[in-house]
């Protein structure tokens, strides 16, 4: 148990949190966007200036090869990935946390510099995607093991870091039959909760065009292949952004898990179609129940489920859209197993500052976060364009008044099991901000009540 001063601290923290939430909720409207960071090029938080100079000198650091792609937020920390793509050298760091050093936002190697060493299979080789479980503070990082799409250095792996201790918690090395040593491109990852615990990880392989399932309890893994995970058509490979057409031949990419953990949603980058597959199939290695939901307004890289809406980048429109599935289910008078995509709503758009909305994350205060990185230009120019001072990478957050699919999933999935499909999760999932406030308030009151009691004893 805590001491008297701990409890005082807790009550105080509760107060601050409450007032922050109140500010967010009073001050923000659905769809309000805030620019959090913008970078023309990335600056790392080097161990020393000497280290930086030497890395520039020996080519292990080439500034214009470094671009952020993945983003997730945990408490007040922002984590990003820096893919080691197109070149076989020049990216000193592939997983980082944003830190402020003397007023400047820098990327700090996460969890350590040693974890970034290219060619060391105990370290990370190439990270595009990761997920953070807000219930536990565990971060699930996918590492392709391959650099620049040609250096096949290490087996693909899923590495779990504990953000509370900044240490490695677990590692799952994937057999080459599941994630090819020479061709995998593990891109995005979501978690599936069973019985109050993160039980499975689902990973998209954008090059070999299949899903990878990792059973986090047994360590076993398998792949799920289906034609819906490939490149949709020649037409779908063409992404037109501000009147310029780019050919982007990337298969299965974005993944979103429904907040009741019944369906995984997915799409190929070279595609307009959005599909669903029941988790009951994924968990048992089947393709049963794969269903086309509908065609999106544009191609998407990342997609992500909140507690209500499914959000997705609309690459050709420099925008983020969302699917209001509740409205479509009501209008069509069907459930999630039959609903089709009809209500696509624009969340935010900006033709200059929101080009290529890449990936999404959620905080617990009602904001969705995303990276816009103009990947289409970076790909063509083979690096960050050296044409002046415009920021090529931006981190945005948009107020959506909801939390991510994992929010309180430990509590919401208590009592579910692999045998007894689904049941029970629906009624649990009517979690609203009102209940959230109530819980916070209860915590706060609890802490206040405990203080006098402990002072007397
Ligand atoms: C946020 O969501 C709650 C519960 O759904 C709703 O009552 C409230 O009006 C919403 N607030 C804003 C600012 O959208
Ligand atoms: C690093 O390089 C810069 C620019 O060349 C130079 O001014 C600085 O003295 C160097 N620092 C060290 C510690 O070598
Ligand atoms: C490049 O320089 C850095 C910093 O001194 C060093 O850690 C790294 O091992 C060097 N790499 C090569 C390939 O020389
Ligand atoms: C794209 O082309 C249309 C029609 O020619 C033009 O009106 C529009 O301004 C162009 N947009 C950009 C961003 O260049
Ligand atoms: C897009 O962002 C720019 C730069 O912040 C701003 O000047 C412009 O008004 C924005 N456009 C729209 C349509 O919001």
CATH assignment of 31-423, given 2.60.120.620, 3.10.180.10, 2.60.40.10, 2.120.10.30? 2.120.10.30
Give me ligand 4 centre to Cα 242, in Å. Answer: 7
Above 50 in pLDDT, residue 233?
Answer: yes
The closest alpha carbon to 157, from 178, 175, 173, belongs to: 173
Nearest CA to ligand 1 atom 2: 401
**Is 430's C-beta closer than 6 angstroms to any atom of ligand 3?**
no
Q: What is the pLDDT of residues 16-67, one digit of tens each?
A: 333 344 445 557 999 999 999 999 999 999 999 999 999 999 999 999 999 9
Give me ligand 3 centre to Cα 335, in Å. Answer: 57
From the centroid of its chain, how far is CA 113? Answer: 22
Q: Which residues line ligand 2 (CB under 6 A)?
A: 49-50, 53
Q: Which ligand is nearest to the CA of 366?
A: 1
Phi, psi dihedral angles at 7 (to 5 degrees): -65, -40
Q: What is the pLDDT of residues 283-298, one digit of tens each?
A: 999 999 999 999 999 9
Beta pairing class for 151-152 and 157-162: unpaired
Rounded to a whole number of angstroms, the distance between the first and last alpha carbons of the chain is 14
Q: What is the pLDDT of residue 419?
A: 78
Q: What is the pLDDT of residues 55-105, one digit of tens each?
A: 999 999 999 999 999 999 999 999 999 999 999 999 999 999 999 999 889
Above 50 in pLDDT, residue 14?
Answer: no
The share of the chain scoring above pLDDT 70, in percent, equals 86
> What residues does each domain of the chain span?
1-26+424-457, 31-423
Above 90 in pLDDT, residue 325?
Answer: yes
Q: What is the pLDDT of residue 443?
A: 52
Beta carbons within 8 Å of 57's beta carbon, 6+ residues apart: none
Nearest CA to ligand 5 atom 8: 350
Above 60 in pLDDT, residue 451?
Answer: no
Sign of the four-CA dihedral 105, 111, 112, 116: negative
Q: What is the pLDDT of residue 380?
A: 82
Averaged confidence pLDDT in the chain: 89
CB atoms within 10 A of CB 420: 10
Omega of the bond prior to 111 within 30 degrees of 0, cis? yes
Alpha helix positions (H), 371-432: 375-381, 409-412, 425-428
Q: What is the pLDDT of residues 388-402, one digit of tens each?
A: 678 889 999 999 999
**Is 247's C-beta closer than 6 angstroms to any atom of ligand 4?**
no
Give me the residues paired with residue 33 across strands. 398
* Residue 437: pLDDT band with limits 50, 70, 90: low
Whether the CB-CB separation of 288 and 279 falls below 8 Å is answered with no
Nearest CA to ligand 3 atom 14: 58
**Is 60's C-beta closer than 6 angstroms to any atom of ligand 3?**
yes
**Is 389's C-beta closer than 6 angstroms to any atom of ligand 4?**
no
Of 227-231, 253-257, 383-387, least confident by mean pLDDT is 383-387
Above 60 in pLDDT, residue 369?
Answer: yes
Tell me the whole-structure pTM to 2 decimals: 0.87
């Amino acid at each position: 148990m805590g001491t008297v001063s701990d409890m005082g601290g807790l009550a105080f923290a509760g107060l601050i949190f409450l007032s922050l939430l109140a500010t967010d909720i009073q001050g923000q409207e659905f769809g309000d966007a805030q620019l959090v960071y913008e970078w023309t090029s990335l600056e790392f938080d080097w161990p020393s200036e000497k280290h930086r100079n030497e890395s520039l000198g020996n080519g292990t650091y080439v500034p214009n090869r470094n671009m952020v792609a993945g983003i997730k937020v945990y408490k007040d920390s922002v984590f990003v990935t820096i893919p080691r793509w197109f070149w076989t050298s020049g990216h000193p760091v592939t997983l980082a946390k944003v830190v402020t050093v003397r007023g400047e936002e820098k990327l700090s190697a996460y969890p350590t510099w040693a974890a970034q060493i290219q060619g060391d299979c105990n370290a990370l080789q190439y990270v595009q995607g990761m997920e953070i479980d807000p219930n536990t503070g565990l971060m699930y990082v996918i590492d392709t093991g391959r650099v620049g799409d040609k250096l096949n250095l290490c087996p693909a792996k899923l590495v779990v870091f504990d953000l509370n201790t900044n240490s490695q918690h677990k590692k799952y090395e994937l057999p080459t039959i599941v994630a090819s040593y020479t061709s995998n491109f593990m891109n995005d990852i979501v978690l599936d909760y069973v019985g109050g615990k993160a039980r499975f990880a689902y990973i998209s392989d954008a090059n070999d065009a299949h899903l990878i399932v990792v059973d986090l309890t047994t360590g076993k893994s398998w792949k799920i292949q289906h034609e819906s995970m490939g490149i949709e058509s020649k037409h779908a490979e063409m992404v037109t952004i501000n009147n310029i057409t780019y050919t982007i031949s990337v298969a299965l990419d974005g993944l979103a898990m429904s907040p009741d953990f019944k369906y995984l949603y997915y799409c190929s980058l070279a595609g307009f179609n959005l599909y669903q597959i029941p988790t009951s199939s994924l968990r048992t290695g089947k393709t049963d129940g794969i269903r086309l939901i509908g065609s999106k307004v544009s191609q998407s890289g990342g997609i992500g489920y909140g507690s209500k809406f499914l959000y997705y980048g609309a690459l050709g429109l420099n925008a983020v859209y969302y699917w209001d599935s509740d409205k479509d289910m009501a209008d069509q008078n069907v459930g999630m197993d039959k609903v089709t995509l009809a209500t696509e709503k624009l969340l935010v758009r900006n033709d200059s500052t929101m080009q290529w909305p890449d990936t999404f994350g959620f905080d617990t205060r009602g904001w969705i976060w995303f990276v816009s990185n103009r990947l289409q230009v970076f790909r063509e120019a083979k690096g960050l364009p050296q044409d002046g001072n415009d920021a090529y990478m931006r981190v945005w957050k948009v107020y959506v008044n909801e939390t991510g699919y994992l929010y309180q999933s430990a509590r919401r999935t208590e009592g579910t099991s692999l045998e007894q499909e689904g049941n029970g999760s629906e009624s649990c999932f009517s979690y609203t901000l009102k209940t959230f406030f109530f819980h916070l308030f209860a915590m706060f009151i609890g802490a206040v009540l405990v203080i006098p009691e402990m002072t007397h004893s």
